[in-house]
Chains A and B, each alone.
Chain A
Amino acid sequence: MATRRVPLVLLACGSFNPITNQHMRLFELARDHMHRTGQYQVVGGIVSPVSDGYGKQGLVLAKHRIAMAKLALQSSNWVRVDEWESQQQDWTETVVTMRYHYGRILKEYEQSTGTHIDSDIDSSDSSSPRPQLKLLCGADFLDTFEVPGLWLYDHVEEVAGRFGLVCVSRGELQPERAVHDSDTLSRFRQNIFLVKEWVRNETSATEVRRALRRGQSVKYLIPDSVIDYIHQHNLYTEDSERRNKDTLLRPLTKQAQEPVKSLDD
């Protein structure tokens, strides 16, 4: 009896400010890679833009970021946008967003198979393997695990250990190095899938915003429909880039052991 592939959903969390072709490439590369392992069947992709409470500089309103992501993914038959995270009042820890989505995925799975899963332990019934959810990220994301105050250890353990990571390397960044350098990540390395992107293609949303502020072309870096939307709503300007300028990133204040003083002190 051939073992069945594990159904897999890929979740990408981030600002998507704005969504770029590169974000969508990450999904394509990750799906190809996971299929090549022979163990997984990628059944869906979720783009989950962060909420306005994140406090990142230049972050435009979630409603715009959602609208742009929807336009960009109109032509995709497997990646969709989910608004849950962006609609939360406060910034949500990535692990909380993962739990929410995994809960929904399991519910759908139970309904479709007529089974009930009452424990977190895999029942190892290989005839119909339980779906999995993994976090899709760029290589720079791995480095954030090492930024003091950005992640709680338990959360890293749950994201990397319980769920798993699919990490697409870009340019000259070395995700192998990041995993090696981190004791936490190397503990879970069997659950961290590193995808090598051979084409250096590093369109960052920061570069896109910079070009837009300077009146330069961003055509072919982001979909035409998104460009039209940005112009229609005059989204990225010098003013918009100053949003949250002197604000601390919400994860840093929310997870801090002691109250963090403002930068002006």
Chain B
Amino acid sequence: MEDHNVTKVVLLCCGSFNPITNMHLRMFELARDHLEETGQYRVVRGIISPVGDAYKKKGLIEACHRLEMARLATEYSDWITVDSWESFQSEWLETAKVVRHHYEDLLAAEENNDDVDTVKYAKKRRIEENNFEGSSHHKRTDLPQLMLLCGADVLESFGIPNMWKQEDIAEIVGRFGLVCITRSGNDPHKFIHQSDMLWKYRKNIHVVREWVTNEISATHVRRALRRGRSVRYLLPESVVHYIQEHDLYSAESEQKNADVVLAPLQRYTGASSS
């Protein structure tokens, strides 16, 4: 039996995933525990959405590899999935547009009473609930809430000039919601306090404290790989094997986009005249 006041949540995490690490996966686990412990939410699915190649970040390897590694890493998760839509866009897309896209996906899935995702758990639940509610033409009110999952660094990047459009931040935080994983040393509450916009929507920002410090950054992993050092136990075994098999991270791959301006900065600094 389930409390009807419990809101279903889908967590969306956007990023380079270059490569995906155990820390990315931990973020999902921490966010789910936190939201469910409030008693108000039930997290039904997590979506990993690797950025497209047009993002132009230094050292960003092809999306096909980043997608495959994310798939391998989530093979043994019964609720985290990988979505390739963003990766396959030929141009870089604002995160707000990616969130909107996934929200429309959720809407469409509900309207068609269709199982778009293949997560067994979510699927099973949905079938149960459909039986309970019968075939109603009314708009379902138990549509999952989509929230953007991120680290404290993303929250803080809201303050970097030309990184984000203000209306995008308002949409992401105001309309959808944010789950922000934070470590000792970061103070997201202070950051929220200092931003009028974030303060306005503070109720939609869930700050999750990570008590066990776990700073496995993809940058660190790539550096270790370039230097021939072990990265075992920092990322899933299957991903380590994939990297070795395809010889993915080298001094050469790190030079990709070395002198290119990051797509969001290019777009918002008025460099494009047309």
Contact = CB atoms under 8 A, between A and B. Distances in A.
B33 interface: yes
Contacts of A75: 237
B230 A201 contact: no
Interface in A191-220: 198-204, 207, 216-217, 219-220
A1 to B, nearest CB: 27
Contacts of A202: 212-214
B229 A32 contact: yes
Contact of A28 (B22, B32, B232, B237): B232
A107 interface: no
Contacts of B233: 21-22, 24-25, 28
Given A25-B234, A204-B212, A224-B76, A217 B30 contact: yes
Contacts of A70: none
Interface stretch (B116-124, B171-179, B215-223): B215-223
Nearest to B217: A199
A217 B29 contact: yes
A85 B247 CA distance: 41
Nearest to B223: A198
Nearest to A219: B29
A198 B33 CA distance: 28
A24 B230 CA distance: 11
A221 interface: yes
A207 B215 CA distance: 16
A32 B234 CA distance: 15
A31 interface: yes
Contacts of B230: 28-29, 31-32
Contacts of B212: 202-204, 207, 221
Interface residues of A, number: 24
A171 B213 CA distance: 8
Contacts of A24: 232-233
Contact of A220 (B22, B215, B217): B22
A207 B211 CA distance: 8
Interface in B200-232: 211-217, 220, 229-230, 232
B33 A216 contact: yes
B25 interface: yes
B97 interface: no
Nearest to B29: A217
Nearest to B185: A200
B33 A203 contact: no
B193 interface: no
A207 B214 CA distance: 12
Interface in B1-46: 22, 25-26, 29-30, 32-33
A171 B180 CA distance: 22
Contacts of B33: 216-217
B245 to A, nearest CB: 16
Contacts of A198: 220
Interface in B74-90: 76-77
A203 to B, nearest CB: 5
Given A75-B237, A199-B234, A220 B29 contact: yes
B17 to A, nearest CB: 15
Contacts of A200: 213-215
B27 to A, nearest CB: 10
A79 B214 CA distance: 23
Given A199-B220, A216-B33, A217-B32, A21 B237 contact: no
25 contacts: A21-B233, A25-B232, A25-B234, A28-B233, A29-B230, A31-B230, A32-B229, A32-B230, A75-B237, A199-B215, A199-B220, A200-B213, A200-B214, A200-B215, A201-B213, A201-B215, A203-B214, A207-B211, A217-B33, A219-B25, A219-B29, A220-B22, A220-B29, A221-B22, A224-B76
Given A29-B230, A171-B213, 16 more contacts: A21-B233, A25-B232, A25-B233, A75-B237, A199-B217, A201-B216, A203-B212, A207-B211, A217-B29, A217-B30, A217-B33, A220-B22, A220-B26, A220-B29, A221-B214, A224-B76
